[in-house]
Chains A and B, each alone.
Chain A
């Protein structure tokens, strides 16, 4: 086990929020076709409020802090926020489309010792990238920014979201990343919109095309290992948890709402009404998420994939039950290994049903009204 994994496990066991993802705005200068956000400002936290949140996060033991959005540079105070975060000695990562990063911004990011900048690139073909972002010349501006950042010696990762409209471009983007001297990461996950609109799910790569991705060694590393049939679950596996959501990770929206994860729109409290640590330690919703072990899962506990599936409790929650299956992950497990999931078997399916989305409303976009938690004296 690496030192980093040991520390992660320690934080998990102690219930320390080691990593927090903070969206500082939902506003954006791009209009990506697959984006799940509403880009209006419904009352973002002020500079002072965000600084106070950062103070609280440092006190709570948060070490890894990701700033994202929206587009983070839409906030004029973004550097002031990062500066405050670095003064508090967070390890800072930034997710951005980078179109507002020029030489001066790249230099400032280096001065602030930001760990990594993750930048969305959808294609190596400018016309495809620009058609997805709906911002003319965005490809050109993003690539130029990556060069500025690299000139400063900064670590950059290109995040390549794969969907129907760019499904054949991942090799080209990988090659581009290599030319630019940056890391590459691929993500085939498309999330329903926050207002419950699931039309964006039509952009998801059809399941039938997933085997091509999952069996590509350039993308998944050891194909033998990645696509191996599932091993029988051990007693230890059944005592295990899905992921770090709510255990050592959480998400905070620009309005101060706290969730177990970016993909887990279960409201647990609002930082404008309560202290972060009170939400983290005392919220009944957080406690419920934390309590769920593999053996408690309604369908998945008896699934042959239970020990190796990437089951996302947030996506399962969006489907209606945080203890239930996440259909998108069932699909991935099946197409990765060729072995049907328990969820499929119970429905008498020989292959996953095409995901057409659902109508579960997501509430993340609006400030949440929930009862404040009573803190024991």
Chain B
């Protein structure tokens, strides 16, 4: 059975900025505010709607950080699900058009 691809894109309703290596993210819909650690920031910045999550983990997370690939993938999926629940990331099994305000 072919592996399902997960595509992620940043919502157009959010504000974001890096501060000393961490990403501040705020959802204007409900003013929820997050800071993302270094690894989560890499995933967030790579969320262009076109690159599959597995590729982001393989090419960026595993390249930049000393992590076990399977564990990294599992953590990334959990992180993506959490941010998607807060409306920060859009998730699909098809490529997503990048949202612009």
Contact = CB atoms under 8 A, between A and B. Distances in A.
Q: Do A and B bind each other?
A: yes
A10 B13 CA distance: 25
Given A91-B26, A113-B13, A155-B31, A61 B18 contact: yes
Contacts of A83: 101
Contacts of B18: 61
Interface residues of A, number: 26
Nearest to B26: A91
Contacts of A63: 15, 17, 19, 24, 26
Contacts of A111: 101
19 contacts: A3-B34, A3-B35, A7-B33, A7-B35, A58-B17, A61-B18, A62-B17, A63-B24, A63-B26, A83-B101, A86-B101, A89-B16, A89-B17, A91-B15, A92-B15, A113-B13, A113-B14, A115-B15, A155-B31
Contacts, number: 57
B31 A18 contact: no
Interface residues of B, number: 19
A154 B29 CA distance: 8
Nearest to A83: B101
Contacts of B94: none
Given A7-B35, A61-B19, 5 more contacts: A14-B20, A87-B101, A92-B15, A111-B101, A114-B28
B71 interface: no
B101 A61 contact: no
**Which A-B residue pairs are the 6 nearest by beta carbons?**
A91-B15, A86-B101, A63-B17, A113-B13, A113-B28, A89-B16
Nearest to A11: B19
Nearest to A65: B15
A115 B28 contact: yes
B20 A10 contact: yes
Contacts of B51: none
B38 to A, nearest CB: 15
B12 interface: yes
Contact of A113 (B12, B33, B35): B12
Interface in A1-22: 3-4, 7, 10-11, 14, 16, 18
Contacts of A58: 17
Interface string B1-42: 000000000001111111110001010110101110000000
A89 B19 contact: no
Contacts of B28: 91, 113-115
A112 interface: yes
B93 interface: no
Contact of B15 (A10, A61, A89, A155): A89
Contacts of B12: 86, 113
Contacts of A3: 33-35
Contact of A10 (B14, B17, B19, B29): B19
A90 interface: yes
Given A18-B19, A86-B101, A7 B13 contact: no
Contacts of A89: 14-17
Interface centre among B13, B17, B29, B100 (most CB of A within 10 A): B17
A153 B28 CA distance: 11
A153 B30 CA distance: 10
Contact of B29 (A14, A16, A61, A113): A113
A86 B34 CA distance: 18
B17 A115 contact: no
Nearest to A86: B101
A184 B24 CA distance: 27
A4 B15 contact: no
A186 B95 CA distance: 48
Contacts of A4: 33
